[in-house]
Amino acid sequence: MDLAKEKGSSSWLTTLPLEEHGFCLHKGAFVDALALRYGWCPPNTATNCVCGANFTIEHALSCPRGGFPSIRHNEIRDLTATLMTEVCNDVCVEPDLQPLSSETMARRTAITTDNARLDIAANGFWGGRLERTFVDVRVFNPHAPSNRNTSLEQCFRKHELEKKRAYEQRVREVEHASFTPLVLSASGGLGKEATVFYKRLASLLAEKWDQPYHQVINWLRCSLSYSLLRSAIQCVRGSRSSRGRAIKTIPPMDLVSAEAHLCQMD
């Protein structure tokens, strides 16, 4: 019930099924979405995962087999970057950070490798047109054992602090830019930093599109909600093994030569 009460997590239930905005689900996905919302087990799910563990909703949202948690992260990253291109300059996805030379970081958990990179960088989001902003996205599973016995507010705060301890000092002192961690739950909720970020984004979009702010922020919340919902359904229904995947067969060379000869004769 706490997950269902998160602001934005129920946006998909209160919108018209407008296909041009991506606000639609087929009937099987709608049934799965209701099951996920109320904590039920979706019908006709597998008993065991291909990794050998029991197949539960908790496991499905976290299992790395098939790459579905990464896809969930990338969907939010790409949606956010696309919207930022409407109002920001020099938007870059997965920008590399400058390598460190003699700089030292105060925290042990700070990322100091030369190949470090964040999810999004853009100019002109928080400040002037040339002020750089770096953004890093995290979508966590609230059903995971590490989060299950912690309140949602504490979960969001914990993940935001982990991101800040890893990147904030380096971004501020080396890149001379600002850093914002975007933490979302797989059920559709937003952390405090993400809430402020998307409100700012909606305000900039409303000004550019000449639309009321409340309409733009509602549309933005619906877009995030549907993206996370589809990702969660994919984690439950997606194939994590090679069984059932289409295999592209390579025709024999003699057949290719024969077809090429026929084409020349024609």
- pLDDT tens readout for residues 200-227: 999 999 999 999 999 999 999 999 999 9
Tokens of 35: 């099951």
* 213-237 and 192-209 helices, crossing angle to 10°: 130
pLDDT tens digits, residue range 153-183?
999 999 999 999 999 999 999 999 999 999 9
8 A C-beta contact, residue 36 and residue 186: no
What percent helix, strand, coil does the chain show, rounded to 5?
A: 45, 10, 40
> Domain boundaries in the chain?
11-265
Q: What is the dihedral of CA 148, 151, 155, 157, to 10 degrees?
A: -170
- Rounded-to-integer distance, Cα 88 and Cα 205, Å: 10
Beta carbons of 39 and 232 less than 8 angstroms apart:
no
pLDDT tens for each residue of 30-82? 999 888 888 888 888 888 888 888 888 888 888 888 889 999 999 999 999 99
Reported as a pLDDT band with limits 50, 70 and 90, residue 263 is low
Note whether 37 and 4 are within 8 A (CB): yes
Note the pTM of the prediction, 2 decimals.
0.84
DSSP character string of 130-180: T-EEEEEEEEE-TTSHHHHTS-HHHHHHHHHHHHHHHHHHHHHHTS--EEE
